[in-house]
Amino acid sequence: MTVNATGSNYLNNISNTPSKTDQSDDPLGRDSFLTMLVAQLENQDPLNPMEGTDFSAQLAQFSQLEQLMNLNDTMLELKTSFDESTEGNVMEYVGKKVSVNMDEMEVLGGSVSGGSYTINEPSDIMVSITNDQGNLIRTLYLGGQTSGTHTINWDGKDSGGNIVADGTYNYTIMANTGSGFVEVPSTKTGIVEAVIYDNNKPYFIIDGVSIDANSLVALYKDEDTSPPASIADYLGKNISSNAPVVLLESGKVSGEELAFELDAPQDAVVQIYDHNDQLVKSIVLLSDETKEGTNLVEWDGTDQAGNPASDGLYYYTVETAESVIRPPVADLVSGIRYYNGLQYLVMNDSGRLVSPNSITSIN
């Protein structure tokens, strides 16, 4: 679920209309208008009294003025009631378990707000920051970090040392625990400890980190708060992951073809990397070889030179003229696979492997 701010924005616009003020600050209020009208009647020429039509017109103007002022008062009361209700609704999340998106930072006047991530084990961390066009602005190499929640310390500058324009920037966290960089889930799940306001905007405090309340994506019932006790509890469940890996064993690629989604037929390049983030092979697809929706491409387990690639874990990205993505996967967990001392979930149809740390949702 999300926190809808549409109504608040609409009523904020209403607040820009003239507001109710004291009569001393409003010389053309109700009382002033009536005083002027009575004075006009008292001082009219008895030999040339005011026409009845003129008097009726002025009374109509007064009636319209009164109705508009009453309407303005009503809308201000409605806005106040709505603001109090919205604030109360946000406060109701305190003590609740929620999931929030954590992939945006705000830049205003060179000052950066937001930006945090959570890792379950010590890892080397790399942060990629992109603008609203999806263009890479800067890559931060944060080095070794302990498990837990961390704040991203970005100075608001691009890779050339220039201060970026004000706006919203997205970031992607990549973590390496010793077997290559994998993307850290962009969602965070935890208990809302408090709600604070900054520039009249509500923020959740989760694990000591402030997170925009509008990033709320899920609210959990009490019975949903217990995570799986062991990796075996994932068996038979449908899960999603944004960091599936491909196993190459005895020269054979496990599972089906490499899958990815496109909005329309277009040129695309499938880039295959090893666990050290070294490019192994590029598969170029022209627009007449792709389609809208799900696309499949086969990797024969060889490198760019046509030589057999080493057995191990690989991942792939898809590059188009618009973006570079790492395709997610959603499937039924059909097994558990141990590789190099680590546990992975086997996705039923695709055959992809998924680390429990990269799971983004469980159904």
96, 216 contact by CB (below 8 A)? no
User: pTM of the predicted model, to two decimals?
Assistant: 0.41
Looking at residue 128, its pLDDT comes to 93
What pLDDT sits at residue 17?
40
The class of domain 231-362 in CATH terms is mainly beta
Query: With contact defined as beta carbons under 8 Å apart, do 271 and 299 qualify?
Result: no
Tokens of 205: 């405090």
- Residue 43 Cα to chain centre, angstroms: 67
C-alpha to C-alpha distance for 284 and 272, rounded to whole angstroms: 11
With respect to CATH, is domain 97-224 assigned 2.40.50.100?
Answer: no
Q: What is the mean pLDDT of each run of 10 residues along the chain (363 residues)?
A: 37 39 51 71 64 61 68 64 53 83 82 79 91 91 84 89 90 88 80 79 76 80 57 86 89 89 94 88 95 94 94 92 86 86 84 85 82
Strand pairing category for 312-319 and 268-274 = antiparallel
